[in-house]
Chains A and B, each alone.
Chain A
Amino acid sequence: MVLELQKPRPIWQIMFSTHHTDVGLMYIITSVAFLFMGGVLALLIRAELFFPGSQIIADSMTFNRIFTVHGTTMIFLFLLPFAAGVGNYFVPIMIRYKDMAYPKLNAIAFWMIPPAATLIWLGFADFTWYATPPYSIISAPGPAADMWIFGLKILGVSSVLGAINFIVTILKCKHPDMSIGQVPLLAWSFLTSSLIVLVAIPTFAAALLMLLTDRLGVSGFFNPAKGGDPIAYQHLFWFTFHPEVYVLVIPAIGMMYEIIPRFSRKPIFSHSSGIFAFVLLSMVSFSSWAHHMYATGMSFTEKTVFMIGTLAAVPASAMHVFNFIATMWNGRIKFATPMMWAVGGIALFFSAGAGGVVNAAMPLDFQTHDSYWVVGHFHLFVMGTIAFGSIGFLYFMFPYVTGRMYNERMGQAHFVLSFVGTVLVFFTQHVLGLYGMPRRVFDYPPIPEWIAMNQIATVGSMVIGVGMAIFLINMIYSAGKGKISDTDDPFNLGGKYYWPYEAKNPHH
């Protein structure tokens, strides 16, 4: 591993570096900053919904802008860059190459994020993270919407550049002695998710351009007043963004594959079934996009096809869960912080998947669609699974990167608070959806069940907030003043147990 922070370097040297660990760390630090920015917006949303009526947010437009930027930030500025950062840092080490295949392209892909983020945050658009026309064409106010479109455009290019880089690095630069089947599962997760990005993103890139020209009034692709079809946008959007869910979840599962065998002190149960499940997931990710659109007036046949496509993702996901449990089975498990996050993430992954089966079943979807159930459901994925895997991995890599140990007690407190909070917020939101509360609402009628569920969810969000504050203090303090860690075995797992790579990549 590379000790990055023990040799202080001037900031400009890190900023203009193209070395994969520098770029990786910049990705990770930027994304965690956006996690906190998006988190503050989430707390504002929850605080507003504690009571019916308007409390801390003056008007609904501000509220709409807040949840739009919250969603955009968490997906495009936290989860995606975090995964890219981990990939940048570890993939070249794992495949034993000195750097990414295209280091300059790598740095460019990272440096596209700050301008895109600036556009999104200064614009503060209001048309939700999926910018559905005709609202986004005829009703969304001012330059905010255009800034969002340009921001997303830049992020899309950045993702594609990153994906090309990962694919070339893994396939062409891996050590000649290493067969593709021996490539560690974390690197495999980046290979498969990058392939998804390469196929999926261009579709949305095209839709964004059409949306922009529609807004400028020179075309009418999605504008029914000019003969266009708003449903076409939804197909293009979800053709990109349903696979995108897998782009987020596959690296998180890859990170769990790094954590779980080490802390169970056993090899992975089946390396090959992990690879098989990744490849299978990346293929079925393209078979289910229109399950987001059952209520747009799709025919019975269409709905049936997409229901089958959606259910097809379950066996592949279940293979990962099996692999995790079989790896832990009879292992000498050490529940240090990273392991807690990984195991908690698996439990929530299972719950999220179970809710997903309910959504996929056509008649039940009409009960849950566009209600708070959906909010709870996808947050169990993005927060419960993906963010849990990512945060667990951040704790895991912390001693290797900084050479210092984080505070274990604070790490465990962070996990317990986040897990309890996640259950309080998002399980409750499932129930709230069954009571019929629509999503994306600034205010709600004072129905006793709705008030009770909203208040539990808000308390849960505060619990997560406290956990995240502990996390921030722990990371900043420990990076500078934490106990010096033994970089060979910082977690006291007993020697170099199951440590497949030890390469160091010095700066070149």
Chain B
Amino acid sequence: MGHHSNWAEWIYIGVVIALMAWVGSEAWNAERLIEHIPADAEVIKVTGQQWFWTFEHEDGTKEIGELHVKVGKAYKFEITSKDVDHSFNIHDYVVLMDAVPGRINTVWFAPTDVGEFPIQCREYCGLIHYNMRGTLYVEDAST
């Protein structure tokens, strides 16, 4: 202890606070843009249950474990669960939202590449949580 000059500490704390303010405002701005759902997004109802995913398109077609979408189109997922908490995750498109029974959570995405992408559950849900997987098929708009 004792008297010593503290200017270095004050500058350092100022730099840290400025850095955090920068990270925070950038994150705030990015999240604000990401959460803006396009008006023409097509709704897909996603239901998680032990231990598979069910998808229902706007036209009423249902899929289990597989999801077929068109490239370049915007989709809005309405996610819920039938039993316990799950988390709907398409890692390649940073789609991640918990499926909570009694609630409908929304998240949207617009696939940019044709191909197959894994769908997985990212919230612990019991015995076969590790294999609660599905596949996203992004298809050419013409097919």
Contacts and interface: CB of A to CB of B under 8 A. Distances in A.
A296 B107 CA distance: 11
A229 B129 contact: no
A17 B118 CA distance: 59
A128 B124 contact: yes
Interface stretch (B56-64, B65-73, B98-106): B98-106
B122 A438 contact: yes
A444 B20 CA distance: 36
Contacts of B106: 297
A319 B13 contact: yes
Contacts of B9: 270, 273, 319, 322, 326
A135 B20 contact: no
A369 B24 contact: no
A295 B32 contact: no
B47 interface: no
Given A318-B16, A440-B129, A135 B31 contact: no
A229 B12 CA distance: 44
B13 to A, nearest CB: 6
Contacts of A267: 1-2
Contact of A363 (B34, B83, B118, B123): B34
B89 A438 contact: yes
Contacts of A318: 12-13, 16
Nearest to B26: A361
Interface string A353-369: 00001001111101101
A45 to B, nearest CB: 13
Given A297-B97, A357-B20, A440 B85 contact: no
Interface residues of B, number: 53
B30 interface: yes
A232 to B, nearest CB: 11
Given A297-B100, A315-B20, A441-B130, A363 B124 contact: no
Interface string A91-128: 00000000000000000000000000000000000111
A488 interface: no
B95 to A, nearest CB: 8
Given A297-B105, A314-B20, A436-B91, A370 B122 contact: yes
Contacts of B17: 315
Interface of B: 1-2, 4, 6, 8-9, 12-13, 16-17, 20, 23-24, 26-28, 30-32, 34-35, 50, 83-85, 87, 89, 91-92, 94, 96-98, 100-103, 105-106, 118, 120-131, 133
Interface in A300-322: 300, 303-304, 307-308, 311-312, 314-315, 318-319, 322
A274 B137 CA distance: 55
A443 B28 contact: no
A484 interface: no
Contacts of B16: 314-315, 318
What are the 3 tightest A-B residue pairs by CB atom distance, in nearest-first order? Answer: A436-B91, A224-B102, A297-B105
Given A127-B124, A134-B101, A438-B89, 4 more contacts: A132-B124, A312-B20, A370-B89, A436-B91
A388 B122 CA distance: 30
Interface string A63-103: 01000000000000000000000000000000000000000
Interface centre among B2, B12, B27 (most CB of A within 10 A): B27
A61 interface: yes
A225 B102 CA distance: 8
Nearest to A132: B85
A138 B6 CA distance: 57
15 contacts: A138-B84, A139-B83, A139-B126, A295-B96, A295-B98, A297-B105, A300-B35, A307-B27, A307-B28, A314-B20, A315-B16, A360-B23, A361-B26, A369-B122, A436-B92
